[in-house]
């Protein structure tokens, strides 16, 4: 006696729960056809044009998969395939400029990606050689100071908004001010910091700290926004559990709410750093340009990588290729710094994420 | 009021004849207790004219109730009748919600929890609470969850002291044997029933005098429910326990006294219909609506 004996014989007519499927091979065939059709699009020019090829391929694929699936599988399946195709195409189109940008920066930045670039400055250099050591130091100091200032301001503001504000007029006012601050153009923040330091220390003052203040103005609202969201995600049940143990509110925030939200807060801070580390305009007016290393943010001009890139490109010197190469390598360095920061944030937030939560 | 307060404050700790006084009115009970018993805290909860509000909305009106020490008191009633709201007002958790406040008095040991100068934080150290959904701290291990109350209140432990408290509390919550090998693992990795018992262990680790339980078994299976009911039976020799439950069999099984809350209609405040010994409430209640509710004809 086997199980198959209990199984009724298959029905002769088509059953209501089976349908013809466009299998994996059919799917792949449509995709290959679309790629081939896309290749036809650069025939008139005679040479491959990657962007046009990809876009024509995607459009052809969307159209073909819908029509073929409609004939083979029916309306619902065809619509499902069309939507999947459109969503994927949109992602690929958006990713194209990004891939192209990274490619270009790596391709052109690798020329000067050598030891000299990371150990020497531009002091006394007019032509070839020289490096961005001073700009890397400047970027790290200015961004570091900005982070040191904006994280406490931002985090405490977020704690007020999420834990104490509760619909108070002050909280609402702060919230809308933060929204406005998120939208201010970066040059305005730069001019604000410039004007502030001119008032305090006389005209023409340029220093690393002025640049850091400008970046703080840009960074704080981003930190506030993300930290507030993260604090609001902490379930009220945990706060109540803590209160019910007789733990005061401030300690509940420090020991229960913040540790639960810390992974998200760190990610938010790193996003804020990434937002400001590439700022050029505000640093141009506040920190200025120097040819050598300046370790003191409170005295004298300080070059940062974006400003360095800008000047190497607009005033490349002779021969111009040397300056342009330095500019590309500086851009590549900046991208690597941001990449390292993101990796660090990932590692930290994974390590600090509440255990047992997925 | 001050007379009353003094009377309760001088009430004795040991009661051998508790059942005698259960049916006597509040004032007489308090007066007789103060006459023939030595002084000391008894953790009897006396609720007087308590109105509980959410903003301008009166959620529970005019509660007068005596909750006897070292016994289990069950609060039953239909959904939305204010049982949870009421139990949260017994350790000042109600006011954690924006715009929520109460009028009236809740006396514990003769001290009004809502009196001037009372620190809600101190009240909550004395009156612990277990919630409907288990809520262990996700960032802490099992042991740290148990110690959370003490540790967050700045207590520093000597080496063996912490381990002792962890074991004592987990044993008290019938959880020790299940978790003793993984005390350093996160509390959120436990099953729902284990998490709830962890929350009970966490609550009793701060050595409260009163334990409030807001539907502690509603998210649990029958076996975990049984474990927690047995636990309540053991804990009632030490603690005054108040439990909100939707499960009338549970109320009948675990409690000595039962209060029935109801609500007249949507938007109306909830109120206490009657309160009596549990066996009386389930066999011979005085009010028709109580009869209807406990026999399942409510509606």
Of A241, A252, A357, nearest to B135 by CB-CB distance is: A241
Asked if B203 reaches chain A (Cβ–Cβ under 8 Å), the answer is yes
**Domain limits at B270?**
43-294
Asked if B118 reaches chain A (Cβ–Cβ under 8 Å), the answer is no
Which contiguous run of DSSP H or E holds residue A58? Answer: helix A50-72
Question: In which residue are the tokens 């298959």 written?
Answer: A10
Cβ contact B188–A356 (<8 Å): yes
Residue B275 is predicted with a pLDDT of 92
Interface test with A, best of B152, B184, B186, B203 (most A CBs within 10 A): B152
Tens-of-pLDDT digits for all 299 residues of chain B?
A: 444 444 444 444 344 444 444 444 444 444 444 444 444 457 789 999 999 999 999 999 999 999 999 999 999 998 888 899 999 999 999 988 888 999 999 999 888 999 898 999 889 989 999 998 899 998 889 999 999 988 887 677 777 888 899 998 998 888 898 998 989 888 888 888 889 999 989 998 988 889 999 988 887 788 888 888 988 898 888 889 999 998 888 999 999 999 999 988 888 899 999 999 999 998 888 888 888 888 887 64
Cβ contact A242–B148 (<8 Å): yes
- pTM value? 0.80
- Residue A17: band (very low, low, confident or very high) from pLDDT cuts 50, 70, 90: confident
Of A167, A246, A259, nearest to B98 by CB-CB distance is: A167
Asked if A355 reaches chain B (Cβ–Cβ under 8 Å), the answer is yes
Chain A residues 218-237 within an 8 A CB cutoff of chain B: 235, 237
B28 falls within a domain:
no
Residue A332 is predicted with a pLDDT of 95
More confident call, A45 vs A136: A136
Among chain A residues, the shortest Cα distance to B132 is held by A237
Residue A27 is predicted with a pLDDT of 86
Residues of chain A in contact with residue B129, where contact means CB-CB under 8 angstroms, are: 244
Asked if A257 reaches chain B (Cβ–Cβ under 8 Å), the answer is no
Number of domains within chain B: 1
Q: pLDDT for A43-94, tens place per residue?
A: 777 777 788 888 889 999 999 999 999 988 888 989 999 999 999 999 999 9
Interface test with A, best of B91, B129, B139, B151 (most A CBs within 10 A): B139
Asked if A242 reaches chain B (Cβ–Cβ under 8 Å), the answer is yes
Domain A119-352 is in which class? mainly alpha
Q: pLDDT for A118-130, tens place per residue?
A: 998 888 887 888 8
Nearest C-alpha neighbor of A194 from the set A215, A170, A211, A177: A211
- Residue A238: band (very low, low, confident or very high) from pLDDT cuts 50, 70, 90: very high
B166: distance to nearest CA of chain A, Å?
15
pLDDT at residue A140 is higher than 50:
yes
Residue A350 is predicted with a pLDDT of 86
B235 falls within a domain:
yes
Residue A1 is predicted with a pLDDT of 52
Percent pLDDT > 70 in chain A is 96
pLDDT at residue A283 is higher than 90:
yes
B230 falls within a domain:
yes
Interface test with B, best of A237, A242, A246, A255 (most B CBs within 10 A): A246
Residues of chain A in contact with residue B187, where contact means CB-CB under 8 angstroms, are: 356
B299 falls within a domain:
no
Of B96, B98, B188, nearest to A357 by CB-CB distance is: B188
Mean per-residue pLDDT for A262-266? 92
Q: What is the 3-state secondary structure (H, E, C) of chain B?
A: CHHHHHHHHCCCCCCCCHHHHHCCCHHHHHHHHHHHCCCCCCCCEEEEEEEEEECCEEEEEEEEEEECCCCEEEEECCCCCCHHHHHHHCCCCHHHCCCEEEEEEEEECCEECCCCCCCHHHHHHHEEEECCCCCCCCCCEHHHHHHHHHHHCCCCCCHHHHHHHHHHHHHHCCCHHHHCCCCCCEHHHCCHHHHHHHHHHHHHHCCCCEEEEECCCCCCCHHHHHHHHHHHHHHCCCCEEEEECCCHHHHHHHCCEEEEEEECCCCCCEEEEEEEEHHHHHHCCCCHHHHHHHCCCCC
CA-CA-CA-CA torsion sign (B228, B229, B232, B237)? negative
Residues of chain B in contact with residue A243, where contact means CB-CB under 8 angstroms, are: 93, 96, 121, 124
Residues of chain A in contact with residue B202, where contact means CB-CB under 8 angstroms, are: 241, 245
B180 falls within a domain:
yes
Rounded-to-integer distance, Cα A143 and Cα A97, Å:
27
Residue A10 is predicted with a pLDDT of 63
Rounded-to-integer distance, Cα B115 and Cα B62, Å:
18
B158 falls within a domain:
yes
Residue A13 is predicted with a pLDDT of 61
Q: Name the residue ranges covered by the structural domains of chain A.
A: 20-110, 119-352
- Residue A328: band (very low, low, confident or very high) from pLDDT cuts 50, 70, 90: very high
Asked if B94 reaches chain A (Cβ–Cβ under 8 Å), the answer is no
Asked if A264 reaches chain B (Cβ–Cβ under 8 Å), the answer is no
Q: pLDDT for A176-221, tens place per residue?
A: 999 999 999 999 999 999 999 999 988 888 899 999 999 999 999 9
Of A167, A237, A248, nearest to B133 by CB-CB distance is: A237
CATH number, position B90:
3.40.50.300
A239: distance to nearest CA of chain B, Å?
9
B72 falls within a domain:
yes
Cβ contact B93–A243 (<8 Å): yes
Percent pLDDT > 70 in chain B is 85
Percent pLDDT > 90 in chain A is 59
Q: How many CB pairs under 8 A join A and B?
A: 88
Residues of chain B in contact with residue A238, where contact means CB-CB under 8 angstroms, are: 135, 137-138
Question: In which residue are the tokens 């390598």 written?
Answer: A329
pLDDT at residue A39 is higher than 90:
no
Residues of chain B in contact with residue A241, where contact means CB-CB under 8 angstroms, are: 131, 135-137, 199, 202
């Amino acid at each position: 006696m086997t199980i198959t004996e209990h199984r009724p014989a298959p029905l002769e007519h088509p059953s209501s729960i089976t349908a013809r499927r466009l299998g994996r091979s059919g799917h792949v065939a449509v995709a290959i056809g679309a790629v081939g059709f896309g290749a036809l699009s650069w025939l008139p020019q005679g040479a491959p044009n990657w962007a046009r090829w990809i876009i024509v391929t995607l459009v052809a694929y969307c159209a073909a998969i819908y029509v073929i699936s409609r004939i083979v599988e029916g309306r619902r399946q065809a619509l499902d395939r069309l939507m999947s195709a459109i969503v994927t195409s949109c992602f690929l189109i958006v990713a194209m400029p990004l891939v192209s940008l990274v490619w270009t920066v790596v391709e052109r930045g690798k020329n000067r990606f050598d030891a000299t670039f990371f150990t020497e400055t531009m002091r006394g250099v007019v032509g070839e050689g020289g490096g961005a050591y001073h700009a890397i130091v400047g970027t790290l100091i200015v961004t570091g100071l900005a982070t040191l200032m904006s994280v406490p301001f931002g985090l405490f503001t977020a704690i007020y908004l999420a834990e104490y504000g509760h619909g108070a007029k002050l909280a609402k006012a702060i919230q809308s001010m933060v929204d406005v601050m998120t939208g201010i153009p970066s040059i305005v923040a730069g001019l604000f910091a410039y004007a502030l330091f001119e008032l305090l220390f006389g005209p023409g003052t340029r220093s690393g700290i002025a640049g850091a203040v400008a970046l703080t103005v840009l960074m704080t609202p981003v930190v506030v926004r993300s930290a507030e969201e993260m604090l609001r995600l902490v379930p009220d049940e945990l706060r109540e559990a803590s209160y019910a143990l007789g733990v005061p509110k401030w300690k509940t925030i420090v020991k229960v709410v913040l540790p639960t939200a810390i992974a998200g807060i760190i990610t938010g801070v790193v996003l804020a750093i990434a937002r400001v580390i590439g700022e050029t305009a505000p640093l141009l007016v506040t920190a200025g340009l120097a040819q050598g290393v300046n370790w003191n943010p409170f005295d004298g001009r300080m070059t940062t990588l974006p400003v360095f890139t800008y000047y190497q490109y607009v005033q490349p010197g002779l021969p111009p290729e040397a300056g342009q190469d330095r500019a590309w390598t500086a851009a590549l360095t900046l991208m690597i710094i941001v990449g390292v920061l993101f990796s660090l944030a990932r590692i930290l937030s994974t390590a600090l994420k509440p255990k047992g939560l997925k | 009021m001050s007379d009353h307060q003094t009377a309760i404050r001088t009430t004795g700790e040991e009661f051998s004849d508790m059942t005698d006084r259960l049916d006597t009115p509040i004032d007489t009970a308090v007066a007789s207790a103060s006459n023939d018993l030595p002084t000391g805290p008894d953790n009897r909860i006396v609720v007087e004219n308590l109105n509980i509000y959410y903003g301008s909305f009166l959620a529970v009106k005019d509660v007068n109730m005596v909750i006897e020490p070292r016994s289990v008191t069950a609060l039953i009633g239909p959904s939305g009748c204010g049982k949870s709201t009421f139990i949260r007002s017994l350790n000042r958790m109600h006011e954690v919600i924006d715009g929520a406040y109460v009028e009236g008095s809740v006396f514990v040991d003769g001290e009004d929890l809502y009196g001037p100068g009372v620190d809600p934080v101190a009240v909550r150290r004395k009156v612990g609470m277990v919630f409907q959904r288990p809520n262990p701290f996700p960032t802490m291990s099992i042991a740290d969850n148990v110690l959370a109350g003490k540790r967050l209140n700045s207590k520093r432990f000597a080496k063996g002291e912490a381990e002792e408290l962890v074991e004592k509390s987990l044993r008290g919550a019938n959880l020790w044997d299940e978790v003793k090998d993984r005390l350093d693992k996160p509390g959120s990795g436990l099953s729902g029933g284990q998490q709830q018992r962890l929350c009970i262990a966490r609550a009793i680790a701060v050595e409260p005098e009163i334990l409030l339980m807001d539907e502690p078994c509603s998210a649990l299976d029958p076996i975990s429910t049984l474990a927690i009911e047995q636990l309540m039976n053991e804990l009632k020799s030490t603690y005054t326990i108040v439990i909100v439950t939707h499960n009338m069999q549970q109320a009948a099984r675990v409690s000595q006294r039962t209060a029935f809350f109801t609500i007249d209609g949507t938007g109306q405040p909830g109120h206490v219909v009657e309160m009596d010994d549990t066996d009386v409430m389930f066999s011979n209640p005085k009010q028709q609506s109580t009869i209807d509710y406990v026999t399942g004809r409510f509606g």
